[in-house]
Structure 1
Amino acid sequence: MTQTIGFLGAGRMAAAMIKRLLSKGYEIKVWNRNQAKIEPLAALGATGCSTPAAAAQNCDIVISFMADDSASEAVWLGDNGALAAMGKGALAIECSTLSHAFVLDLAQKIEAAGCRYIDAPVTGVPADVEAGNTVFLIGAETSDLER
C-alpha cells in the first residue's frame, strides 16, 4: 500500500524532498502559497492542492516547510488549515525552523486533535536532499519515529 504524503510548502528544500519521494513511488499532495511553484512538481506526478486542508486530507503523513512561526501556524491551524482535515493517528511532521515556545504549543494542539507530532527541522541544501543525505534534527516518540 502506497502512503500518501501531504506537503505544506514547495520551496527549494521541500521541492527537492517532494521530487525524491515521488521517485520512490510515494503519492504526494502539495500546497504552496505561490501556486506556480507546484506546477513543476505536478508535472512529475504530485497533486496540487488549493488549501493546506486539501493537501492534508486522506494523508498518512503531512510535512510542513514554512518560513516562520506565523506561517506555520496559518497552515496548520488557520482557515483551511491542515490539522482540521487530518485523520486520527496521522503524522504531522514540522520541518520548519521555529521557536521553542511555538513548537511546544503546536505539538500540544496536534496531539489534542488525535494526531502524532514529529519536530524535524532540516539542515543542508537541496542538493543534499537530492543525494539522499538530508540531516534531520528529530524530536519524536520512538514509536512515531519508527513508523
Structure 2
Amino acid sequence: MPRVAFIGLGRMGHGMAGRYLDAGFTVTLWNRSKTKAEDLIARGAHWATSPEDAAIDADAVVTMVADDEASRAVWLGPKGAAKTAKAGTIAIECSTVSYDHAREMGRELNARG
C-alpha cells in the first residue's frame, strides 16, 4: 500500500488523513501541534518530528497549511519535506496559496526531482 505523508492537520488535513487511514494507506503525520494528531496516531498513523521526517519514504506528500509562507517553510525550509522526498514523490499542495506561489513551488520541486 502506498505511503502518504500529511503535513498540516487543520479541519481538512485531519479529515483527509483519516480517510487515507480508513482505506488502509500507511500514513505519516506532521503538524505544529502534535495534539491535533493524537486520535489519528491512536488509529495507526505514524508521527513525524518534522516535514523532513514525514517525507522519508513517502510516495506522496500532502500539505495543507495556511498560506504561501507556511507552504514554503514546510517544503523548502531547514527541515522541509523537499530535503528527503525521493525522486518521483507526488507533491500535493492543498494549502491556501497564491497562483504565483503554486507555480514557483512546482518549478522548484520539479527541479529537485
Q: TM-score, normalised by structure 1?
A: 0.75
- Deviation string 1:39-96 (CA, Å, 9 cap, x unpaired) is 1110111101110011111000000001000000000000110011100011000011
1:15 Cα shift?
0.7
Query: Which ranges of 4 or more aligned residues in structure 1 deviate by more than 3 Å?
Result: none
Is there any run of 5+ residues in structure 1 with no aligned partner, and where?
A: 115-147
- Give the structure 1 partner of residue 5 of structure 2: 6
Please give the secondary structure, in 2, of the residue aligned with 1:6: strand
Alignment of 1:72-111 (within 5 A): 72-111=71-110
What displacement does 1:97 show?
A: 1.8
Q: Distance in 2 between matches of 1:50 and 1:10?
A: 14
Per-residue Cα deviation, 1:4-46 (whole angstroms, up to 9, x for no partner): 0011111111111111110110000000011111111101111
Paired residues in the alignment total: 113
Is 2:63 the counterpart of 1:69?
no
**Which protein shows a greater Rg?**
1
Task: Give structure 2 stretches of 5+ with no counterpart.
Answer: none
1:35 paired to 2:39: no
Q: Distance in 2 between matches of 1:57 and 1:9?
A: 16
**1:55 matches 2:38:** no
The letter of the residue matching 1:71 is: A
The amino acid of 2:109's aligned partner reads I
Counterpart CA distance in 2 for 1:46 and 1:40 is: 9
Higher relative contact order (CA 8 A, sep 6+): 2
State the one-letter code of the partner of 1:31: W
